[in-house]
Structure 1
Amino acid sequence: MADYFTHFSCLLPMPADDAEACVRQRHADLALDPDAAGGFEVSVDRDALWLRDCNGHVDLDALVNFIIGCGRVCGLSGLFVIEYAQTCSRPRPGAFGGGAVVIDLDACEVVEEMGTGIWSEEVIARHGQTAPLLAA
């Protein structure tokens, strides 16, 4: 049997005091609802909040909501990108890929997201083909 994983690691730049406040809030939220963990961990790394998957089963929506919440509370602005990898414990067609989510911290919303599977289908379609030669 194969196990599927989503991995990521990123730094959200912010003053250390704000990063520590986000970590404290995360711990308080998890104390109230441990089921809302979302499969990611947070800690302070100098002047940034370090976010990463803790078991390869991250809930990207929960992660995005956490980042938007931190951005709102800490007054962050600009675009922030989460890149992730999708892997598998065994070789399986279509089991590997990745993607990215772009968050507008000013508007507190996702402005674009892309997965490599959808992206490759769009490229193939632009070139007039309906399916890849080596379909997954």
Structure 2
Amino acid sequence: MADYYTHFSCTLDVGNHPHVEQALALYANTPPNEDGLTFPDGFRLEPPADGGSELWIHDDGRGDIELLVSFVLLCAETLFLEGRWGFEYALTASRPLLDGFGGGAHVVDLSNRTSHSWTSTSDWLAGVLTGGDGHA
């Protein structure tokens, strides 16, 4: 039996050191979602190594894209973040499988506090193979 993994590594600039502290508190103290999961169940959050304002967000091998997007939207609302933010992810498996590999990207509109757009390589590939133009 194979293990499946979701990998990502990205940063989120929260603007200043007080916001870094608030974001770290949101990560550690937000109650579980409807599935009983907390943010630490889905990804790791690291404070800036240089005292700056960019948080490092990365998977631990079992990355949860929905938890990551929920966290970023919560930060946008709580910290009044503006603009767009996004990340890419990779889907892998512990051994070669026909459905074991892929990836995608997700864009969040921080200003409107919404998920703006996303795509997956498997959707893109299926569309092109069935005669689509390759646009997600």
Correspondence list, 1:30-109, <5 A: 33=32, 35-36=37-38, 37-45=40-48, 46-54=52-60, 56-109=61-114
1:17 aligns with 2:30: no
Whether the aligned pair in 2 keeps the contact of 1:7 and 1:84 (CA below 8 Å) is yes
Question: Alpha carbon RMSD of aligned pairs, Å?
Answer: 1.9
Task: State the match for 1:134 in structure 2.
Answer: none
Alpha-carbon distance in structure 1 between the residues aligned to 2:132 and 2:26 = 48
Alpha-carbon distance, 1:127 to partner: 5.4
Alpha-carbon distance, 1:126 to partner: 3.3
Q: Deviations over 1:71-114 (max 9, x none)?
A: 11111111111210001110111211100111000111111111
| Cα gap change, 1:124 to 1:4, in 2 (>3 Å) | same
Alpha-carbon distance, 1:9 to partner: 0.9
Whether the aligned pair in 2 keeps the contact of 1:97 and 1:116 (CA below 8 Å) is yes
Q: Deviations over 1:52-78 (max 9, x none)?
A: 112x22221121111001011111111
Alpha-carbon distance in structure 2 between the residues aligned to 1:16 and 1:125 = 49
Gaps of 5+ in 2: none
Gaps of 5+ in 1: 129-136
Whether the aligned pair in 2 keeps the contact of 1:20 and 1:43 (CA below 8 Å) is no
Match of 1:92, SS? coil
Task: State the match for 1:133 in structure 2.
Answer: none
Larger Cα-atom Rg: 1
Percent pairwise identity: 34
Alpha-carbon distance in structure 2 between the residues aligned to 1:114 and 1:108 = 19
